[in-house]
Amino acid sequence: MEPIRYGMIGGGQGAFIGGVHRTAAAIAGNWRLVAGALSATPEKAMASGAEIGLPTERAYGSWSEMLEREAALPADRRIEAVAIVTPNHMHAPPAVAAMESGFDVIIDKPLADTLANAQAIADAAVRTGRRIAVTHTYTGYPLVKLARRLVAGGGFGAVRRVMVRYTQDWLSRAADLIDNKQAEWRVDPARSGDAGAFGDIGTHAANLVEFITGERIAAICAELTMLPGRHIDDDGAALFRLSGGGKGTLTASQVCVGDMNDLAIAVYCDEAGLHWRQEEPNTLTIKRRDRPDEVYHAGANRAYVPGDLLAIQRTPGGHPEGYLEAFANIYRAFGERLRGAPAGEDEPGYATMDDALAGMKFLRAALRSSRAGAVWVDI
Amino acid sequence: MEPIRYGMIGGGQGAFIGGVHRTAAAIAGNWRLVAGALSATPEKAMASGAEIGLPTERAYGSWSEMLEREAALPADRRIEAVAIVTPNHMHAPPAVAAMESGFDVIIDKPLADTLANAQAIADAAVRTGRRIAVTHTYTGYPLVKLARRLVAGGGFGAVRRVMVRYTQDWLSRAADLIDNKQAEWRVDPARSGDAGAFGDIGTHAANLVEFITGERIAAICAELTMLPGRHIDDDGAALFRLSGGGKGTLTASQVCVGDMNDLAIAVYCDEAGLHWRQEEPNTLTIKRRDRPDEVYHAGANRAYVPGDLLAIQRTPGGHPEGYLEAFANIYRAFGERLRGAPAGEDEPGYATMDDALAGMKFLRAALRSSRAGAVWVDI
Amino acid sequence: MEPIRYGMIGGGQGAFIGGVHRTAAAIAGNWRLVAGALSATPEKAMASGAEIGLPTERAYGSWSEMLEREAALPADRRIEAVAIVTPNHMHAPPAVAAMESGFDVIIDKPLADTLANAQAIADAAVRTGRRIAVTHTYTGYPLVKLARRLVAGGGFGAVRRVMVRYTQDWLSRAADLIDNKQAEWRVDPARSGDAGAFGDIGTHAANLVEFITGERIAAICAELTMLPGRHIDDDGAALFRLSGGGKGTLTASQVCVGDMNDLAIAVYCDEAGLHWRQEEPNTLTIKRRDRPDEVYHAGANRAYVPGDLLAIQRTPGGHPEGYLEAFANIYRAFGERLRGAPAGEDEPGYATMDDALAGMKFLRAALRSSRAGAVWVDI
Amino acid sequence: MEPIRYGMIGGGQGAFIGGVHRTAAAIAGNWRLVAGALSATPEKAMASGAEIGLPTERAYGSWSEMLEREAALPADRRIEAVAIVTPNHMHAPPAVAAMESGFDVIIDKPLADTLANAQAIADAAVRTGRRIAVTHTYTGYPLVKLARRLVAGGGFGAVRRVMVRYTQDWLSRAADLIDNKQAEWRVDPARSGDAGAFGDIGTHAANLVEFITGERIAAICAELTMLPGRHIDDDGAALFRLSGGGKGTLTASQVCVGDMNDLAIAVYCDEAGLHWRQEEPNTLTIKRRDRPDEVYHAGANRAYVPGDLLAIQRTPGGHPEGYLEAFANIYRAFGERLRGAPAGEDEPGYATMDDALAGMKFLRAALRSSRAGAVWVDI
């Protein structure tokens, strides 16, 4: 199968997530980076392109230039898709333009800075018939997919209670905003949207809840906070109600000292409880009352791992795969879909427009709830 | 030092917590059980007394009989204190009567079934000058005491966020209420009070938060639930605000399948995060940004454990002590205080009347919040 | 059931293990300490007796005095058994004398300082018909008993390989021998026997292997070492062969820095691997190829724990029991046997003379092997 | 920096490790696969080449053809290095020929099937002046490199004791040899060499010991075993002595049921103990007597990770990197060296010829020891 030729928008020197996307695509094996508009500053865009080995003529000075000139190339040479890895407020314009230029889109989460912009992307997708994948990375882990089958599949009965947390500490000090490209835009409402930590990582946590339970978060009561001197949330927690009647708590914080990237979820159903933690992603624990706790391993040499989940692992059990491989699984699945492979029975392998819009609505409801003094808001 | 002679009220055949109190007192070494009114049914009270080796003449048929007859014994023979281990609604009458008869009281938590009854106990204590200890067991663990010194002591800066959970699964099935003495009264409003899981274990979780942070829970927004057919909560969660400005989440459930007695807390301060889990009580983890995570061990051969915490451990490091030893530490501390030892600089070693009343107020606020649709209630 | 009246030999002021025995007996509930010869120095023996509340007339100045005077008391008052908690070289004389005086014996491990002395105890037991229990504490843990049923019971097939370790660090520094009563005799060949760490803790490790596998260690190739300036081993490791054909490694060290009391075992059989670690004694992990790892909990509310193992736990699941409770289980079982209860089908609940002699032979073989340059020695 | 153009020998359809090498090289980013002789069967070699996207003219039918024709290409087009991923007995011929054709070599471990063949490779390297890297993957983990600095750097004092194990279960059943390409050659003396598990994974364990301690294994007493019907070892254990005087145990087995790829090491020095386990490679634990255990994280946002180790991580702390990234680090370091970068002060970033020869000598000594009945053999 010929790799998908893609161009990247954003991800130049000093950026973090662009390199992650490129490595993920390389691990996936069915994508090939052939063009890029890696920075909004043309000189930096060119230099960044050279640094990662793009041919000069396809390291463009702006994304609009890239879309225009690539569209003019012969069909078997031009890019087929773009990967958008810019700050949130720069998602919608290139996404819409790319689709209108005939390109499919893979885009970092959250979908956009505002629900309106997210909706604009969604509308463009419908209008143009292009496909979109949103990189909610954590659903790329094989054991998260297994968790979904166990819970959303219904085998454990109804979902009663969920506890999810996503805690980091890289903004825990006032000084963390100084000279930190990652931090700077994330805490600036003009570039990140109205939400800080809840947009950056709270949406991941909410997506994980919805992915594993197969339900939507139907109502939320959230209280967001921030360190003195900051303008958008760097910390917050919420009670929530699931569409199926279960209840939950969600904490998202970038000021929880000592935690690096501590996304963890517990889902309690009528018959079993399920536990997963991103920092040790290769085990999944199922607890029941009348039998020993069961610890599943991601390893490809364990017969209990379904065949299609084996197929997205590259090494035998006990050879840990991590974040980049989970990310690669999203690229791989989207690439296969673009090449015509049928979606899995259960889920396509990446977050869809619907999933991403649900995340945007979750976020808007959380902000509204918090501004009103932490009252319940329906989604 | 002569052991404290005590009589037990409740804790007869089929009861659970009475045996725990007796074993804890035996491990503590400074208490001696000499009398008992172990059941509200005289025959059962007598049989229970015989079973645990009480002399016939001091196995009483009712607690009022015990109080009266013991008070009539010579001062060097009669009981000095009572341990009350009855269901919640039977706490206040014997506690008040015991104090009025001149006996000190150690009593299982929560202090009473209602705030009014709790207040009646408190009033009696003031009136009679007797001492009361409430067995919030989990503060008896040496590493919980160390956690308090680290957090409430202020060395980590202000408390930002707390996550506490206390989850069990022994009521997770409808059938769990049938033929289960432990379950029966706990889910009966007439005996347990208006609260179920939040009273039984939520108060432990709240007490742990207040003990470690040295603050009070100042406001709460709680949503309590229950399985179909039940009348009081078996599950719930809350957002809360601490008196010092920090925020938190609390989950208490007896229907979280797979969890046995999973009390766990994370406290995030300006400079460090602290993590402790009751099911592995002999480690305490401190995480900071600029140094490796630190794992403290309870062991008596680790120099970093303060001397007075070494003194409440019976074995060298690596010989795990558990729940019964934590419970014993509460008896030991109360016994020492009754024998005239000065309280520690920091905390007396057991939950006081004030702590217990705070727990009752927390509980009432949680119930009010939930009944009003999960709105914020100040405490 | 009337408690066993016992007297203690050794365990006075400054000693460690004597207090552990007394607390264990108190937790067990079916023993009562009524006499003691707690030190070889009469004044200290008396003072120690007073401190722990022995009546003056039964705090004896020497063990021979205790045996003689107790034997002269009426049958319903005198001690029925002695607990011997002296250093190793002082095990045999009181043990033999006690049995000859008509008392049963519970004795700390290893059985004696030399195989000859151990054999003398064994001979006396046969001659007098008295019973002996040796406190190999770690087999008192409920999950170790469960491990034995799973492995020695044969359900996992033949034992292929064992890895066992017992590492501590309390002798890791030269200075550790100065002013340390625990250390002093353990590293003195005249009091501890020829073996140091291998006698003190290596025998525990060997006992654990034999208990869980139901086999004997048949041959050993050991290399023991010690820090400069010491006279007996403080560290060593061995290859061994089991009577059933399996192989293993054993490490025992008191100079492994950072380890407190780290006894851990892995047993690999044809169909499953089993893992247990003393510092977290309430979980037992079973791993197989075609199903998730299984984590057993000791908790009394888990249906997979056999009824007789539930009966030796005092609290529901999730309320951790530890070293003292394991120790108590040994006292309890021996006490029940002395009161006429039949032994369990599988194992009596304490290490027998045979088990203890096997430990002594293991130890002698290890020493011989090491002295010959770490060659194989049959046991 | 222009990527290294390389050709792969072995690694065609059905092979495992070839794909790992290719993905690792892709993650490293400084290698480009441009040619291959992927199978000893020409048709399969061609088909395999097509499958992974090699241009037809550079998918060669044999390695000799590849070496000859690549050498004839212009210097700026031809391969610069070969990656050899064939079974052990097919390492030496292409390695020697490649070097003689002017190519550098990266080669899977162990270096060869016999010490003589390994020596032939070493001789060729000296003769031709070409460079060789051997992929002892596990030293590519950042925290293993940190472990080396802590231990071999001398900060913890002398090494006293090492425990290392490498256990798997994929050969635990007789049937595992049927229709299993991975297993087949590994248990065939003609293709794997005289050693089975000790060659396949025991050498990794030995390499890890030598890497972290900075010492060599100087003597060994090993007992290797195998299941009935097999011809080379699938399981074994050894005592060993380090060149610096420390002692150790090593277990390597492919029949330890339940273990997937369980390489774990503990190194005890005068002042600290160090613990690392490959299945959770992103934490490293250091234990000392007088301070809490320290858990290091690999994360790039932890200041205690040295800068050059940060540089070989692709994601911030808490985004787990795994086996493929460790493998990539080896490719990256070798590639940088081939481009003229100076070696690190401490270690080059990959196993050198010397390291690999040490491994071969370790292996030969282990086999000799075992055949002689598990006696000591100097290395």
Residue-wise pLDDT for B19-51, tens only, equals 999 999 999 999 999 999 999 899 999 999 988
pLDDT bracket for residue A232 (50, 70, 90): very high
Phi-psi region of C28 (alpha: psi -120 to 50; beta: other; left: phi over 0): alpha
pLDDT bracket for residue D5 (50, 70, 90): very high
Residue-wise pLDDT for B78-120, tens only, equals 999 999 999 988 999 999 999 999 999 999 998 998 899 999 9
What's the residue count for chain D?
A: 379
Tokens 């200041």 found at: D303
In this structure, is the dihedral angle defined by the CA atoms of residues D295, D296, D300 and D304, taken in order, positive or negative?
positive
Chains meeting A at 3+ CB pairs closer than 8 A? B, C, D
Q: Can you give the pLDDT at residue C341?
A: 87
Q: Does residue B42 have a cis peptide bond before it, meaning omega lies within 30 degrees of 0?
A: no
Within the 230-249 window of chain C, which residues sit less than 8 Å (CB to CB) from chain D?
235, 237-239, 247-249
- Using only the alpha carbons of chain D, give its radius of gyration: 20
Rounded to 10 degrees, what is the CA torsion of A253, A258, A261, A263?
Answer: -70
CB-based contact B53 C3, cutoff 8 Å:
yes
DSSP characters over C152-185: TTSTT-SEEEEEEEEE--TT-SGGGGTT-HHHHH
CB-based contact B294 D292, cutoff 8 Å:
yes
**CA dist., res. D155 & res. C290, Å (int):** 44
**CA dist., res. A230 & res. B92, Å (int):** 50
CB-based contact C316 B259, cutoff 8 Å:
no
Percent of the residues in chain A that have a pLDDT greater than 90, as a whole number: 81
**CA dist., res. D352 & res. D338, Å (int):** 13
Question: What mean pLDDT, rounded, does chain D reach?
Answer: 93
Is residue C35 within 8 Å of residue C58, measured between CB atoms? Answer: yes
Asked if the C-beta of A372 comes within 8 angstroms of chain D's C-beta atoms, the answer is: no
Q: Is the pLDDT of residue B369 over 90?
A: yes
DSSP characters over B292-310: -EEEEE--TT-TTS-HHHH
Asked if the C-beta of A60 comes within 8 angstroms of chain C's C-beta atoms, the answer is: no
- Closest approach of chain A CAs to the CA of D209, in angstroms? 19
Q: Which residues does chain C have with pLDDT short of 50? A: none
Q: Can you give the pLDDT at residue C186?
A: 67
Give φ, ψ of A17 to 5 degrees. -75, -25
Tokens 């773009």 found at: A82
**CA dist., res. D135 & res. D350, Å (int):** 7
Return the number of other C-beta atoms located less than 10 Å from residue B65's C-beta.
Answer: 13
Asked if the C-beta of D315 comes within 8 angstroms of chain A's C-beta atoms, the answer is: yes
Between the CA of residue A209 and those of A248, A264, B237, what are the distances in Å? 9, 10, 17
Q: Is the pLDDT of residue A178 over 90?
A: no
In degrees, to the nearest 5, what angle opens at C-alpha C169 toward C-alphas C166 and C173?
145
DSSP characters over B308-365: HHHTT--S-TTS---HHHHHHHHHHHHHHHHTTPPPPSS--SSB-HHHHHHHHHHHHH
Is residue C377 within 8 Å of residue C220, measured between CB atoms? Answer: yes
Is residue A36 within 8 Å of residue A58, measured between CB atoms? Answer: yes
Interface test with D, best of A20, A295, A315, A321 (most D CBs within 10 A): A315
**CA dist., res. C38 & res. C57, Å (int):** 13
Is residue C138 within 8 Å of residue C327, measured between CB atoms? Answer: no
**ipTM computed for the complex:** 0.94
Residue range A227-249: mean pLDDT, rounded: 96
CB-based contact A289 B221, cutoff 8 Å:
no
**CA dist., res. A30 & res. D53, Å (int):** 10
Choice among A60-74, A83-97, C119-133, C171-185 with the minimum mean pLDDT: C171-185
CB-based contact A321 D318, cutoff 8 Å:
no
Is residue C358 within 8 Å of residue C216, measured between CB atoms? Answer: yes
Q: Is the pLDDT of residue D341 over 90?
A: no
Closest CA to D264 of C160, C264, A259, C172: C264
Is residue A263 within 8 Å of residue A165, measured between CB atoms? Answer: yes
**CA dist., res. B163 & res. C165, Å (int):** 37
Minimal-distance CA residue of chain C relative to B168: C318
Total-model pTM: 0.96
Asked if the C-beta of A273 comes within 8 angstroms of chain C's C-beta atoms, the answer is: no
* Beta bridge partners of residue B375, listed in sequence order: none
C234-256 b/e (C-beta count within 10 Å ≥ 16 → b)? bbbbbbbbbeeebbbbbbbbbbb
Residue range B350-374: mean pLDDT, rounded: 95
Q: Is the pLDDT of residue D80 over 90?
A: yes
Asked if the C-beta of B293 comes within 8 angstroms of chain D's C-beta atoms, the answer is: yes
Is residue A36 within 8 Å of residue A60, measured between CB atoms? Answer: yes
Is residue C92 within 8 Å of residue C15, measured between CB atoms? Answer: no
pLDDT bracket for residue B304 (50, 70, 90): confident
Interface test with C, best of D164, D209, D225, D239 (most C CBs within 10 A): D239
Side chain identity at residue A196, one-letter code: G
Q: How far apart are the first and last CA of chain B?
A: 42
**CA dist., res. D4 & res. A53, Å (int):** 13
Q: Does residue D74 have a cis peptide bond before it, meaning omega lies within 30 degrees of 0?
A: no
Alpha helices in chain C (DSSP H): 17-28, 42-51, 63-71, 92-100, 115-128, 142-151, 181-186, 189-192, 197, 203-213, 307-310, 323-338, 353-371
DSSP characters over A214-262: S--EEEEEEEEE--TT-SS-SEEEEEEEETTS-EEEEEEES--TT-SSE
Q: Can you give the pLDDT at residue D51?
A: 87
Side chain identity at residue A338, one-letter code: L
Closest CA to D158 of C232, B295, C172, C187: C172
Out of B160, B249, B273, name the one closest to residue A249 (CB): B249
Return the number of other C-beta atoms located less than 10 Å from residue A231's C-beta.
Answer: 12
Q: Can you give the pLDDT at residue A300?
A: 60
B313-325 b/e (C-beta count within 10 Å ≥ 16 → b)? bbbbbbbbbbbbb
**CA dist., res. C158 & res. C155, Å (int):** 9
Minimal-distance CA residue of chain A relative to D171: A301
Q: How far apart are the first and last CA of chain D?
A: 42
Between the CA of residue A220 and those of A201, A365, B81, B250, what are the distances in Å? 16, 7, 49, 16
Return all residues near A199 (Cβ < 8 A) that are at least 6 apart.
Answer: A88, A110, A192, A193, A363
Choice among A185-189, B273-277, D151-155 with the minimum mean pLDDT: A185-189
Q: Can you give the pLDDT at residue D218?
A: 98
Residue-wise pLDDT for D199-256, tens only, equals 999 999 999 999 999 999 999 999 999 999 898 999 999 999 999 999 999 999 999 9
Out of A23, A53, A278, name the one closest to residue D27 (CB): A23
Residue-wise pLDDT for B162-182, tens only, equals 999 999 999 999 888 777 766
CB-based contact D271 C256, cutoff 8 Å:
no
Out of B291, B296, B303, name the one closest to residue D290 (CB): B303
Q: Can you give the pLDDT at residue A72?
A: 97
CB-based contact D294 B291, cutoff 8 Å:
yes
- Closest approach of chain B CAs to the CA of D320, in angstroms? 17
* Beta bridge partners of residue B248, listed in sequence order: B162, B240
Is residue B269 within 8 Å of residue B160, measured between CB atoms? Answer: yes
Q: Can you give the pLDDT at residue D304?
A: 85
Asked if the C-beta of A258 comes within 8 angstroms of chain B's C-beta atoms, the answer is: yes
CB-based contact D221 C239, cutoff 8 Å:
yes
* Strands C159-167, C247-253: pairing kind: parallel
**CA dist., res. A287 & res. B16, Å (int):** 25
DSSP characters over C80-124: SEEEE-S-GGGSHHHHHHHHHTT-EEEEESSS-SSHHHHHHHHHH
- Closest approach of chain B CAs to the CA of A279, in angstroms? 15
**CA dist., res. B212 & res. B17, Å (int):** 25
Tokens 């059980």 found at: B33
Asked if the C-beta of C119 comes within 8 angstroms of chain D's C-beta atoms, the answer is: no
Minimal-distance CA residue of chain D relative to B296: D292
> C217 in helix, strand or coil?
strand
